[in-house]
Structure 1
């Protein structure tokens, strides 16, 4: 069941959600491109280089369930505004951090981006909730397609404006503030508030099922495993890749191009992932994503050339999109409207927890082993996701 709204209003909200996703992804791409490198320059030890990046996912994980509860009481528009303001503040703190060469202040700045990520994570759920059931996959992929512009421009802008201010990279984080301000203007025009109608839906639908009942469904397990494994794989690879590329003798601009192609893979795929999910089913699309992710990992195992980095990360980006869109589609079919707050909050905690684990694992694993070993490790969560998707198909 979806939130009832006139077609014109739904189309307008979809356009605004897509624009908001574009600005969010452009904002986050600055951190994805530079935070590992900046963290390495500010950290007291190389082992701590990826902690600032990991804080984005950790804070997102800690914030996502309270964010869902907040939006239930105050509306999604209010939550999205809060997230955009967090980006503004985070960008300003990060500018100050690189200016003062403060590692702890930098951690605080990127942590604010984690709050933005947590709230922006509900853009796709909102798109699914305002759409008819047979159009959910398309709605999710449409919103995620907003990231393609960010994939092309974000990493380029991150490096292009890095010297715009006297201190290197201060201009990049000033860009984060500007993007946060633009996002605030976009989400202010949304009419997606669901606080009042959530109460009405609960009254009509009766008592919600317990979380245990919802979580025991094969469709829920396949959805969480697909989205979670996709995010863990993507985050671990993307966090480690710039540092591994630098360690392999590639320049900062080469490392940025690796992330750029990774993000192109992540979001250009959105133009087809919704259609593919509708055509072959969400669980089968998860399996396709697993295969493509595994192919990327195997390429990274075979070579440390710049081309190998780009192709591997692009494939991992494509695999992430397929697993994320299809996993979210499975999750959107696992709950009733009045069960939305709990189910979405818990599933986001799991997904962002997997992302945080990937980011936290990247630095120590890369320092202790090697880039090929990191990619071999990626095959484990992919195999687990494949098992849950296959079980859902068997029991369906």
Structure 2
């Protein structure tokens, strides 16, 4: 239900923002607030679940989605841009809580199976990526005000999610933590500081890899429809580019977990960065519709590999008693990259243009690769020692 709801928001929020915004320059603000809301809420979400449990947190997230859907419907009826922004920010809060679904799956599996568990969670987005945009446009006119039906559907999906969550148990015992993350809970000693945890190569590679993957993906997903229209393509062409981008993002989940388990999360992270770089190369090659399609598809694949493997590395960096704090810090990195990408995409596109913008994204991809190589080198040296 989460993926269906978020796919509707990703498909329509830019269009509704353009319709309600007092000036065109603010049209992308609601879209950016999905990422900004997620980033602002991610650590409070972790703290809330540490105190009250994951199930309670997931219920609160679905409640935020219901509130956001209702606020968006009301904003469309009253033509209030600020209220629409508040409603979309609530969807960002929903995304912040839902981001811990993958950690809930990872924590009940041994280290070598965590990548597969995370990818299984993400695979639910495949159907939503294909059907979600279709649903969004199909029901947009079922209510008297255009697009109100779509956001009413978001509310209904959140309500269904609440019903499903009430039947689930999300607070199971954590699986053993690997030796690379430090002594297990059975070993005595003072708790590690955040500085000690964050200095681990496994954490740095994972957190930065997830952050860069999200930053690159969100930047290009936000800018691509506008760049496509500026290049002479239709609005439908731009929507098709995003649809294939989302398919690339989530269809890859069927293989990313297996790949992480077979060759390791570090190497999978490097492959994801390479594919993302290849996507930017296609974007720089020319403004044809096919180039947009291939570029955004590859960026989606690269994001999935970097997100799954980066999350798996973060999940291997903490002891069971540290998981809530470390997961929250990891999410700040990840969703911070998404928020910065969403907010900066429009200004950077206007300042540099489509091809130079893609060229500039090679720098953070390279930085992630260097940190990952450092982690792999350290891991190999530890095993030899």
Tell me whether the two structures share a fold, i.e. TM-score over 0.5. yes
Structure 1 CA distance for aligned equivalents of residues 343 and 211 of structure 2: 15
Are the equivalent residues in 1 in contact too, given 2:57–2:97 (CA < 8 A)?
Answer: yes
Q: CA deviation at 1:205?
A: 6.0
Which among 353, 361, 364 is matched to residue 370 of structure 1?
Answer: 353
| Pair 1:194–1:265, CA change in 2 (3 A) | same
Match of 1:301 in 2: 284
Match of 1:7 in 2: none
| Pair 1:310–1:131, CA change in 2 (3 A) | same
**Structure 2 matches for 1:156-195, cutoff 5 A?**
156-193=134-171
1:47 aligns with 2:25: yes
The runs of 5 or more residues in structure 1 that have no matched partner are: 1-22
Match of 1:34 in 2: 12
Match of 1:255 in 2: 238
Match of 2:79 in 1: 101
Q: CA deviation at 1:163?
A: 2.1
Which among 107, 129, 135 is matched to residue 129 of structure 1?
Answer: 107
Match of 1:239 in 2: 222
Q: CA deviation at 1:182?
A: 1.5
Which among 341, 347, 363 is matched to residue 380 of structure 1?
Answer: 363
Which among 206, 209, 223 is matched to residue 223 of structure 1?
Answer: 206
Match of 2:132 in 1: 154
Structure 2 CA distance for aligned equivalents of residues 204 and 46 of structure 1: 59
| Pair 1:245–1:169, CA change in 2 (3 A) | farther
Which among 354, 362, 368 is matched to residue 337 of structure 2?
Answer: 354
More deviation in 338-347 or 31-40?
31-40
Q: CA deviation at 1:196?
A: 12
Match of 1:113 in 2: 91
Structure 1 CA distance for aligned equivalents of residues 84 and 214 of structure 2: 24
Match of 2:249 in 1: 266
Match of 1:89 in 2: 67
Secondary structure (helix, strand or coil) at the match of 1:164 reads coil
Are the equivalent residues in 1 in contact too, given 2:108–2:174 (CA < 8 A)?
Answer: no
Q: CA deviation at 1:202?
A: 7.0
Structure 1 CA distance for aligned equivalents of residues 10 and 194 of structure 2: 33
Structure 1 CA distance for aligned equivalents of residues 341 and 196 of structure 2: 28
Are the equivalent residues in 2 in contact too, given 1:245–1:255 (CA < 8 A)?
Answer: yes
Structure 2 CA distance for aligned equivalents of residues 215 and 207 of structure 1: 16
1:341 aligns with 2:324: yes
Secondary structure (helix, strand or coil) at the match of 1:167 reads coil
More deviation in 212-221 or 36-45?
36-45
Match of 1:321 in 2: 304
Q: CA deviation at 1:268?
A: 0.6
Secondary structure (helix, strand or coil) at the match of 2:287 reads coil
Aligned residue pairs total 371
State the superposition RMSD in angstroms.
1.9
More deviation in 28-37 or 41-50?
41-50
Instruction: Give deviations 1:148-195, integer Å, cap 9, x for gaps.
Output: 111111112122222222222222211211111121112111112259
Secondary structure (helix, strand or coil) at the match of 2:16 reads helix
The runs of 5 or more residues in structure 2 that have no matched partner are: 176-183, 380-385
| Pair 1:380–1:262, CA change in 2 (3 A) | same
Structure 2 CA distance for aligned equivalents of residues 225 and 280 of structure 1: 20
Secondary structure (helix, strand or coil) at the match of 2:361 reads helix
Structure 2 CA distance for aligned equivalents of residues 195 and 64 of structure 1: 22
